[in-house]
Amino acid sequence: MPPGDIFAIDAEGNFCSLLTAKELILVSESMKALESRLALFGFVRIHKCHMVNRRHVVAFDAHEVTLTGGIHRPIGRLYRDAEF
């Protein structure tokens, strides 16, 4: 799957779920591993459990990011300096 198709990545224990327009894919990879692999493709960590694709960010404030399709993810206080 091309990284550009992924809207958001959410940590779920030892797994992560990749959210696309068509499906939710569960992978057995840590958020940290995905973060290092996908940073070059425009992904940014916004919470200890959430990472988003900058290409799909349509709005954000100090507490929340809105993605394509009206998807919302919270911004953790330690990640509020993330650049979109």
The overall average pLDDT reported for the chain is 94
Q: Which CATH superfamily is domain 3-79 in?
A: LytTr DNA-binding domain (2.40.50.1020)
Residue with the two structure tokens 């958020």: 31
Q: Give this prediction's pTM.
A: 0.93
Q: What mean pLDDT do residues 11-19 have? A: 94
CA atoms within 13 A on the CB side of 37: 9
DSSP type of residue 21? S
Q: What is the pLDDT, as a whole number, of residue 51?
A: 97
Sheet containing 64-67: order of strands: 57-60, 64-67, 71-74
